A = this chain, B = another copy of it.
């Protein structure tokens, strides 16, 4: 049965092309047509009302660590290293142990569902999760209905000793994961993710590059997030992080470089020349005190930039409306220039740029594209009056204004009701599982750290 969104007040094809009072026809997983179709109700047509609403491309969250959803609100005003010791490592240790020692498969399922619900509710139709042990995450994604990109994390140095006990498993498990999931489901894809230069040996970075080339996968890597990292990589390699990654052949059109906060102009040009997409995470960079990426400069020098929430522990949401608003406002203020960046540029980052970076046929509303989209209500007081739909989406709209979310032609949320899973039950399960896992992790961590 085809799906028709009828008479939408605005159909946002992309940041620069908007149609008024138009219909969107969806057949199977694709957009079949956009325009003034005058179709009437028919037995084989399921109709959604677009009146007083905007249809927009689904937002793409180009980088997260979904397990951090269990750490929301645990971090405030403490520095990175201390926070790693009291929150991140205990949880990571519990996760690895559960998955690799106890062979317990529940790991990841609950946070995939919990974060999937949050994102689908906010019009996010696709996310990239960087982590190890992602099998259960992918099962969660299939259940909740979000399009997911598994960024298979790799790391083999710098980590504290108890975590290094799992090093031997990392490469083999990544290969097994790729073998299991590559091309396994139309809504799932994979990139390899050597975490960041200073926690990956040169050997591991080259291994990731070569395996990605062999299988035909993209790469995702954290680059130049903190001054600490820049100093560390410079000391160890004689090069700054982006230049070092380039020297190893890690940059290119299928690579996403996350953060790029502390980059030189020469590095910005390297990113542009190689066609690498930078993933900008403004809220995370602010919260961790990492600094502020030179976004307007990157855009003006031709770098492709996507947008992301990063892990919930440093944000603490997966809210791409919030993220767009921060990106749009922050750089105007930092540069003391209201023209430093426009709402249209930011909207493009949150949609089209993400889709292009990962080779997904989504990000704009055009015939032939995947039907990944959101329907946004426009009648709430904070959206009235409406002078310019893109400005309103970026500066005024909230995740909670999304009424209906469609992924690959499937209505996953309709009129604010999740249709794929039992949301109340999933919330309760995630809450109790999350608390137990974190407490278990803390106890384990204290034990193994004191050895």
Contact = CB atoms under 8 A, between A and B. Distances in A.
A391 B115 CA distance: 18
A340 B291 CA distance: 13
Given A73-B388, A315-B395, A326-B326, 17 more contacts: A72-B385, A73-B387, A73-B392, A74-B387, A74-B388, A76-B395, A77-B332, A114-B381, A288-B332, A289-B333, A289-B338, A291-B333, A292-B334, A316-B395, A317-B382, A319-B382, A381-B427
Contacts of A88: none
Interface stretch (A1-9, A59-67, A428-436): A428-436
Nearest to A227: B336
Interface string A48-92: 000000000000000000000011111111111000000000000
B382 A287 contact: no
Given A387-B73, A396-B73, A289 B382 contact: no
Nearest to A418: B381
Given A73-B387, A336-B290, A398-B399, A318 B382 contact: yes
B387 A343 contact: no
B395 A343 contact: no
Q: How many copies does the complex hold?
A: 2
Interface of A: 70-80, 114-115, 117-118, 121-122, 227, 283, 285-292, 315-319, 322, 325-326, 329-330, 332-343, 379-388, 391-392, 395-396, 398-401, 423-424, 427, 430-431, 434-435
A430 B379 CA distance: 11
Contacts of A121: 380-382
A118 B431 contact: no
7 contacts: A72-B385, A72-B395, A74-B387, A118-B382, A286-B330, A384-B427, A385-B435
